[in-house]
């Protein structure tokens, strides 16, 4: 199994083009419940190509985007260096390199399931200001919402390289209770949808680290099955990925 920090190095282009964004309501929730002000400093840990980072920068916040994967970090820098409040950091959740008590809020978008949770908890306590909070965020694909979703999930389970092992759904309420102070946290959930033509579906699928690389025999077999699924389930030339964007917010 590839090291978590290196899993996406050869998938950056597809990641940038085809990974879902996040509903504006998720930012509104954080602004209200984390009591953000225009002076707030936010650490985006496991920031990847900067999908969530950009939303925070557009709101005017100072953001330290901490990402260990060089290819993903470089991509974020290319896209976001025009923002004066953007700071790119080569670090990890367990060793962010950020200053002690420097962050009003920590966000982890589509990333927390890759972290060593105990070491991360200690690091987050170190870098948060008194009263600061942590938001764990996922776009949770709805795997039973329609016939296409069911068929796609089955394909992943059958042909994904280590899909069951790295699936973020392995994170449960037990993990959250152990991570957040006193086992207390708030949850907010929002609808989110991506609409794909065939090329978009292929790009989205191959942005995932558990899909065999396209140039391999296994990748070509997966591609053939994926095209057949698209042909079977498309409506007006497209299929939908339906997500529930989930935000878990609390102190550590």
Length of the chain: 252
Alpha-carbon span 5 to 229, nearest angstrom: 31
Query: CB of 113 within 8 A of CB of 168?
Result: yes
Confidence of residue 9 (pLDDT cuts 50, 70, 90): very low
pLDDT of residue 8: 47
Asked if the model's pLDDT at residue 86 lies above 50, the reply is yes
Structural domains in the chain, CATH included, are: 4-142+167-193+241-250 (3.40.50.150)
pLDDT tens for residues 144-192?
A: 999 999 999 999 988 876 666 655 555 777 789 999 999 999 999 999 9
Residue with tokens 């497209």: 238
Q: Decide which of 171 and 210 is more confident.
A: 210
pLDDT of residue 237: 97
HEC profile of 150-182: HHHHHHHHHHCCCHHHHCHHHCCHHHHHHHCHH
pLDDT of residue 2: 44
pLDDT tens for residues 11-65?
A: 577 778 888 999 999 999 999 999 999 999 999 999 999 999 999 999 999 999 9
pLDDT of residue 152: 95
Tell me the sheet residues that pair with 236: none
Cα 181 to its chain centre, rounded Å, is: 23
Give me the percent of the chain exceeding a pLDDT of 70. 91
pLDDT of residue 170: 56
Alpha-carbon span 204 to 135, nearest angstrom: 25
Query: CB of 44 within 8 A of CB of 112?
Result: no
Give the list of residues 6+ apart from residue 39 with CB closer than 8 angstroms, or none.
none
What's the predicted TM-score (pTM) here? 0.88
Asked if the model's pLDDT at residue 10 lies above 90, the reply is no
Asked if the model's pLDDT at residue 77 lies above 70, the reply is yes
| Mean per-residue pLDDT of the chain | 91
Alpha-carbon span 211 to 74, nearest angstrom: 23
Lowest mean pLDDT among 91-95, 202-206, 233-237: 202-206
Residue 47: how many CA atoms within 13 Å on its side-chain side? 32
Q: Which of 132, 118, 122, 119 is nearest to 33 (CA)?
A: 132
Alpha-carbon span 216 to 212, nearest angstrom: 7
């Amino acid at each position: 199994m590839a090291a978590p920090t290196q899993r996406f190095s050869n998938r950056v282009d597809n990641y940038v083009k085809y990974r879902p964004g996040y509903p504006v309501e998720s930012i509104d929730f954080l602004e209200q419940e984390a009591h953000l002000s225009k002076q707030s400093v936010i650490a985006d840990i496991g920031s990847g190509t900067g999908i969530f980072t950009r939303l925070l920068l557009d709101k005017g916040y100072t953001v330290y985007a901490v990402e260990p994967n060089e290819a993903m970090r470089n991509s974020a820098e290319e896209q976001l260096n025009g923002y004066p409040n953007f700071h790119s950091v080569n670090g990890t959740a367990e060793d962010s390199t950020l200053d002690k008590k420097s962050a009003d809020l920590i966000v982890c978008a589509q990333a927390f399931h890759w972290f060593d949770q105990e070491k991360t908890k200690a690091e987050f306590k170190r870098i948060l200001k008194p009263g600061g909070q942590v938001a764990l965020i996922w776009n949770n694909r709805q795997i039973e919402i329609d016939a296409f979703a069911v068929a796609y999930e089955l394909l992943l389970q059958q042909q994904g390289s280590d899909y069951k092992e790295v699936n973020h759904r392995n994170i449960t309420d037990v993990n959250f209770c152990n991570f957040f102070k006193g086992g207390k946290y708030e949850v907010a959930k929002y609808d989110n949808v991506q609409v794909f033509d065939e090329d978009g579906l292929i790009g989205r699928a191959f942005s995932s680290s558990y899909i065999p690389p396209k140039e391999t025999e296994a990748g070509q077999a997966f591609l053939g099955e994926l095209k057949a699924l698209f042909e079977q389930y498309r409506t007006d030339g497209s299929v939908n990925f339906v997500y529930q964007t989930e935000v878990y917010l609390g102190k550590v």
